[in-house]
């Protein structure tokens, strides 16, 4: 079921002495949003460019749709939609006219392709406004409309929310999410903003200085991101009674026969342990989970953090 | 002489036509190869695959039709998968939501049973246990109602009713509850009759859920219900003066199992608003929530007069 739409094997890019991408293996699953997270200059764009054949691969391989891309470019690229940096639109034409040119060049998958693409990103169809008069947000939207014009299976979006205001960011995030959930698109997206990736991605790859530090599912990472006290005890009903009566705790949940999660992390655990022992309840373990994603990224990037 | 020239022209023309036909044939051939490729892929289960066609391609309509088929069956598949996932989520949260109150209920009853508490304290314990049992009862009822709604098994009986009279009847039952919870209230309902096609039980349920929501969650002490009607629709506005809903939470409150408190505290079950929304949409109406400009939350229901 979860076959990889993109898989890179030891993907490397060097410019002279400098290695900008170093043996990166990323695995983008079908129908998922994969977030490449890293600071500016970490190598995210270079990876995307190598996947799209916009820059040469120094060494390593790229498989797209389950096969090595080499020699199959002409067949593969029509199935991908991408925005890498600012797309080249004609400034003296309207958005609709620009897209119509691209539709003619690439072919379309359905009638009214231009109209539909504009609708998805929330731009007016057949508007008189010239591209040169577009705001940054509108330009980004048109870029995305162009990327989805031919209804591709795979979208590669390099910092699609760059330069947008907060409302614009939320809107773009929403329709990227919709494309994935309601249309089953596979999406590779890059960002240097942790919170943005956290809201969007199913899987995440963290790039730092050209090296993939970690690749994991967002769910797995979120688990490490919660604040709670994990309490393992011999008797759950008795423990919940002690918590409620003696400590006034209402925010807790029972995980299984012996495990409780308490969401109030300011609780005095020494006192709780003591009270439990007095009641003849064995405390097997109590553990404070207090990690935030931010802390975690700081840890794995070696203290520098991301965002 | 003349004949030779004619002959030459005819031959040249024929050659041109043959070359054109050969060109068209080649073009159609490559397109057929593309279509074959894509069909193979779609047959293998990749419903995301699209076939691109140029504006003047002979195969354009065939390509578009194949794409349409793929799009439609994919949409169906995605809907199915979504409901499966939702169901799974429901089961997990269900198990947690029942486990926690059940554990503490057992804790209270054990304490009574083992005579750890006596006299007044014992009575209080029994009272708390009773409340928790009630909570669980209503939770399970809600849950079943939700599942029934969600799977489309609920049967509705639409009848012509006077919305104003119906609303007054429902409110009458709430007045003592509001008073015992120290809520001030204001009801503005037109004296005229307003007949509307409505399922009485469903409408009652919606108002009940909203009232309950205000009493449990708003933390205010005033609430109001206004009804205004025109030829097309009725507008029911229910507001409170409580703490309001955080803006980032607002878009999610009608999703099932969504509660503003990250941990599920004992009250409420995260289903009331989801049920309300579902019931209103059965009436082809809408329900929205927003924070009022000064304080509290405003719920607005729009019901069309004719179904």
Is residue B97 in a domain? yes
Best of B100, B108, B114 to disrupt the A interface by mutation (most A CBs within 10 Å)?
Answer: B100
The CATH number of residue B132's host domain is: 1.10.287.130
Is residue B182 in a domain? yes
Bridge partners for A230 per DSSP: A261, A287
Is residue B247 in a domain? yes
Of B29, B49, B75, the last residue of a domain is: B75
- Residue B264 in this model has a pLDDT that exceeds 50: no
Write out chain A residues lying below 8 Å of B47, CB-based: 184
Is residue B110 in a domain? yes
Name the minimum distance, in Å, from the CA of A235 to any CA of chain B.
9
Please tell me whether residues B180 and B294 are part of one structural domain. Answer: yes
- Across chain A, which has 307 residues, the per-10-residue mean pLDDT values are 83 92 94 91 92 92 91 89 84 94 91 91 90 88 92 93 81 87 92 85 92 89 78 91 89 86 86 90 86 75 60
Give the A:B interface size as CB pairs under 8 Å: 94
Of B125, B149, B173, the last residue of a domain is: B149
Interchain proximity A153–B261, CB inside 8 Å: no
Phi-psi region of B152 (alpha: psi -120 to 50; beta: other; left: phi over 0): left
Please tell me whether residues B42 and B100 are part of one structural domain. Answer: no
- Residue B259 in this model has a pLDDT that exceeds 60: no
Taking all residues of chain B, what is their mean pLDDT, rounded to a whole number? 86
- Residue B267 in this model has a pLDDT that exceeds 80: no
Of B75, B103, B138, the last residue of a domain is: B75
- Judged by a CB distance cut-off of 8 A, whether residue A254 touches chain B is yes
- Residue B263 in this model has a pLDDT that exceeds 50: no
Is residue B81 in a domain? no
Tokens of residue A158, six digits: 């390099």
Interchain proximity A181–B82, CB inside 8 Å: yes
Is residue B267 in a domain? yes
pLDDT, one tens digit per residue, over B97-124 is: 788 888 889 999 999 999 888 889 899 9
Please tell me whether residues B91 and B184 are part of one structural domain. Answer: no
ipTM of the shown complex: 0.79
Please tell me whether residues B179 and B287 are part of one structural domain. Answer: yes
Please tell me whether residues B167 and B298 are part of one structural domain. Answer: yes
Please tell me whether residues B41 and B1 are part of one structural domain. Answer: yes
Please tell me whether residues B293 and B197 are part of one structural domain. Answer: yes
A215 burial via Cβ count (<10 Å: 0-12, 13-18, 19+): middle
Is residue B51 in a domain? yes
Please tell me whether residues B196 and B124 are part of one structural domain. Answer: no
The CATH number of residue B166's host domain is: 3.30.565.10
Is residue B82 in a domain? no
Please tell me whether residues B94 and B190 are part of one structural domain. Answer: no
Please tell me whether residues B167 and B210 are part of one structural domain. Answer: yes
The reported pLDDT for the residue numbered B112 is 92
3-state SS record for chain B = CHHHHHHHHHHHHHHHHHHHHHHHHHHHHHHHHHHHHHHHHHHCCCCCCCCCECCCCCCHHHHHHHHHHHHHHHHHHHHHHHHHHHHHHHHHHHHHHHHHHHHHHHHHHHHHHCCCCCHHHHHHHHHHHHHHHHHHHHHHHHHHHHHHHHCCCCCCCCEEEEHHHHHHHHHHHHHHHHHHCCCEEEEECCCCCCEEEECHHHHHHHHHHHHHHHHHHHCCCEEEEEEEECCCEEEEEEEECCCCCCCCCHHHCCCCCCCCCCCCCCCCCCCHHHHHHHHHHHCCCEEEEEECCCCCEEEEEEEECCC
Question: Which domain does B141 fall in, by range?
Answer: 87-149
Please tell me whether residues B289 and B169 are part of one structural domain. Answer: yes
- Judged by a CB distance cut-off of 8 A, whether residue B53 touches chain A is yes
Please tell me whether residues B276 and B164 are part of one structural domain. Answer: yes
- Judged by a CB distance cut-off of 8 A, whether residue B202 touches chain A is no
Count of the separate structural domains present in chain B: 3
């Amino acid at each position: 079921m979860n076959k990889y739409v993109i898989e890179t094997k030891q993907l490397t890019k060097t410019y002279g002495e400098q290695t900008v991408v170093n043996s990166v293996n990323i695995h983008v699953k079908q129908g998922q949003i994969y977030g490449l997270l890293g600071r500016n200059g970490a190598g995210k764009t270079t990876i995307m460019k190598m996947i799209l054949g916009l820059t040469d691969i120094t060494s390593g391989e790229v498989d797209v749709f389950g096969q090595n891309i080499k020699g199959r470019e002409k067949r593969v690229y029509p199935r991908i939609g991408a925005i890498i940096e600012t797309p080249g639109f004609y400034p003296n034409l309207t958005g609709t006219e620009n897209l119509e040119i691209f539709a003619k060049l690439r072919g379309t998958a359905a009638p009214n392709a231009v109209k539909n693409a504009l609708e998805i990103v929330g731009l007016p169809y057949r508007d008189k406004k010239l591209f040169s008069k577009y705001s940054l947000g509108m330009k980004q939207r048109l870029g995305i409309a162009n990327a989805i014009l031919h209804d591709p299976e795979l979208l590669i979006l390099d910092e699609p929310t760059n330069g947008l205001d907060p409302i614009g960011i939320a809107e773009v995030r929403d329709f990227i999410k919709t494309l994935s959930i309601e249309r089953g698109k596979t999406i590779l997206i890059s960002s240097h903003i942790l919170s943005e990736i956290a809201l969007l991605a199913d899987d995440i790859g963290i790039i730092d200085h050209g090296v993939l530090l970690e690749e994991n599912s967002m769910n797995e990472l979120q688990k490490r991101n919660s604040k709670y006290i994990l309490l393992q005890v011999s008797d759950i009903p008795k423990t919940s009674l002690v918590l409620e009566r003696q400590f006034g705790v209402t925010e807790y949940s029972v995980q299984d026969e012996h495990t409780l999660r308490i969401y109030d992390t300011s609780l005095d655990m020494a006192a709780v342990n003591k009270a439990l022992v007095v009641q003849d309840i064995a405390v097997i373990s109590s553990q404070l989970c207090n990690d935030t994603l931010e802390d975690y990224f700081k840890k794995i990037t070696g203290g520098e953090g991301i965002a | 002489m003349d004949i030779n020239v004619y002959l030459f022209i005819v031959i040249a023309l024929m050659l041109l036509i043959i070359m054109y036909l050969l060109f068209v044939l080649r073009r159609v051939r490559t397109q057929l190869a593309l279509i074959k490729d894509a069909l193979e892929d779609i047959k293998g289960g990749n419903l995301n695959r699209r076939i691109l066609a140029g504006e003047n391609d002979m195969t354009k309509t065939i390509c578009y039709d194949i794409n349409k088929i793929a799009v439609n069956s994919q949409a169906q598949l995605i809907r199915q998968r979504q409901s499966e996932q939702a169901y799974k989520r429901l089961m997990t949260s269900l198990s947690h939501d029942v486990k926690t109150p059940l554990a503490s209920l057992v804790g209270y009853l054990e304490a009574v049973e083992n005579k750890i508490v006596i006299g007044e304290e014992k009575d209080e314990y029994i009272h708390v246990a009773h409340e928790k049992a009630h909570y669980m009862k209503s939770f399970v009822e809600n849950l079943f109602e939700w599942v029934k709604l969600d799977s489309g098994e609920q049967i509705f009986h639409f009848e012509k009713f006077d919305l104003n009279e119906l609303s007054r009847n429902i409110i009458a039952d709430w007045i003592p509850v509001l008073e015992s919870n120290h809520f001030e209230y204001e009801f503005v309902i037109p004296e005229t009759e307003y007949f509307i096609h409505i399922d009485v039980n469903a409408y009652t349920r919606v108002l009940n859920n909203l009232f309950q929501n205000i009493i449990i969650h708003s933390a205010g002490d005033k609430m109001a219900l206004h009804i205004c009607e025109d030829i097309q629709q009725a507008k029911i506005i229910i507001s409170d003066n409580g703490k309001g809903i955080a803006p980032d939470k607002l878009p999610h409150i009608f999703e099932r199992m969504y509660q503003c408190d990250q941990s599920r505290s004992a009250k409420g079950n995260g289903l009331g608003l989801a049920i309300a929304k579902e019931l209103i949409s059965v009436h082809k109406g809408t329900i929205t929530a927003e924070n009022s400009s000064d304080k509290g939350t405003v719920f607005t229901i729009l019901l069309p007069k004719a179904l």
